[in-house]
A and B are shown apart, each in its own frame.
Chain A
Amino acid sequence: MILDEELFKRKANLSSIDKMFRTLSQRVWPSRTVVVRQKHTLPDLPYDYNALEPVISAEIMQLHHQKHHQTYVNSLNQAEEKFMEAKEKNDLKTMIALTPQLRFNGGGHINHSILWQNYFPKGGEPEGDLLKAIDANFGSFDTMKNGLSSSAVSLQGSGWTWLGYNKSTNSLAIATCANQDPLEPTTGLVPLLGIDVWEHAYYLQYKSVRADYVKNIFKIINWKDVADRLATARQ
């Protein structure tokens, strides 16, 4: 029996498809355990490639999404595939050797999936509980912006600067991660807002002047998304 798993998933609810596969596989091969592995897929952008102009060019958005993020997704799927094979053979050495690739590509997938939601063409300002939290932790929105900006500008090499949430102290914090290290697994902070300072995020448009890119990014932040992430983290 040949079923196009990917095709189904694109059109239907994932968990019910998963159940269907398991049930079907048990009927066809009742003695065989079939592991239905869901591959990661590139999420769609919630806006057109040119929607963030003039802050971020359509060219950058397209490359960033279709090339960079897609590569993380593909490489993550490959790394997971190899990891599962190694696990089935009880090959611990290979599993361990694969962890940098999982971290790098998995982190890249996590980070960019958040990033696309963090942007909003019309921009705005934080309000409500989010603004209260910002004021409580930083004194003012401007102070927070300055802190986040200087962190982003001074980050050496490739990485991300984050506004994150500390669950145990119910507070906001600014943190940086190198390369594609994902914030939560690395620091425990829940990611609310990310600034990607890998050169691919801005170079075609801003060249070496990262400071201009960071300054402009605040014009297109989706503060509602940031607020939603905070609310979810606080549940």
Chain B
Amino acid sequence: MAFELPALPYAFNALEPHIDAKTMEIHHGKHHNAYVTNLNNADLMANISKYPAAIRNNGGGHWNHSLFWQIMGPNGGGEPKGELALAINGAFGSFDNFKKEFANAGATRFGSGWAWLSVDANKNLFKGTPILGMDVWEHAYYLHYQNRRPDYIAAFWSVVNWEEVNNRFKKAIGG
């Protein structure tokens, strides 16, 4: 998700004698590179909601879907383990109850949106850094499930990559 310094389409000395090679090297490798580094450090995505609509909607869409592809996988399903499992049991009583509430959040969302499981630095689930997301915009399921969103939600559990969710959990709690 990071911005990258684009390569020059020619060598540093290619614009000589008009612009010297040394200038090109420092201008590109230091100045431009610093802009890229600082832009990445500004963590636009973390604050994407504060921007005007076009940036918020598309930046948000980019961020959300980037997470979505990662937390799903071909060998998905099963259950979370370790600290994540403990946190889920603590907050929801059981994994089954968590699934029920998460599914309900997705099913009862009016119109377009997402269901999220998030965690803060104190391991409290509910608010903070998203670690698991489920897209319930109609485009996420309509071709196969049409209006039957609950069927899509039931199937979603079979593709959740709990190892990835766990990795995000550990990172979010500062592990």
Which residues of A does B touch, CB under 8 Å? 63, 67-68, 71, 100, 104, 156-159, 178-180, 198-200, 203-204, 207-208
Contact = CB atoms under 8 A, between A and B. Distances in A.
Contact of A67 (B111, B139, B146): B146
Given A199-B137, A199-B142, A204-B142, A158 B147 contact: no
A158 B111 contact: yes
Contacts of A63: 146-147
5 contacts: A104-B110, A157-B113, A158-B111, A200-B142, A203-B142
B120 to A, nearest CB: 27
Nearest to A67: B147
A135 B22 CA distance: 63
Nearest to A201: B138
A217 to B, nearest CB: 18
B6 to A, nearest CB: 28
A179 B109 CA distance: 11
Given A63-B146, A203-B139, 8 more contacts: A68-B147, A100-B110, A158-B137, A179-B110, A180-B111, A198-B138, A199-B138, A204-B146
Contacts of A207: 143
Nearest to A64: B147
A200 B143 contact: no
Interface residues of B, number: 13
Contacts of B142: 199-200, 203-204
Contacts of B147: 63, 67-68, 71, 200
A63 B143 CA distance: 12
A203 B111 contact: no
A154 B112 CA distance: 15
B57 interface: yes
B112 A203 contact: no
B155 interface: no
Nearest to A108: B110
Given A204-B142, A208-B139, A178 B53 contact: no
Contacts of B113: 157
Contact of B143 (A100, A104, A157, A204): A204
Nearest to B58: A156
Contacts of A198: 111, 138
Interface in B75-130: 110-113
Contacts of B146: 63, 67, 200, 204
A207 B137 CA distance: 13
Nearest to A157: B112
Of listed A71, A156, A208, residue having the most chain B CB within 10 A: A156
Contacts of A178: 111
Contacts of A203: 138-139, 142-143
Contacts of A156: 53, 57
Ordered nearest first, which 3 A-B pairs have the shortest CB separation?
A158-B111, A199-B138, A157-B112
B56 to A, nearest CB: 9
A179 B111 contact: yes
A200 B111 contact: no
Nearest to A100: B110
A63 B146 CA distance: 8
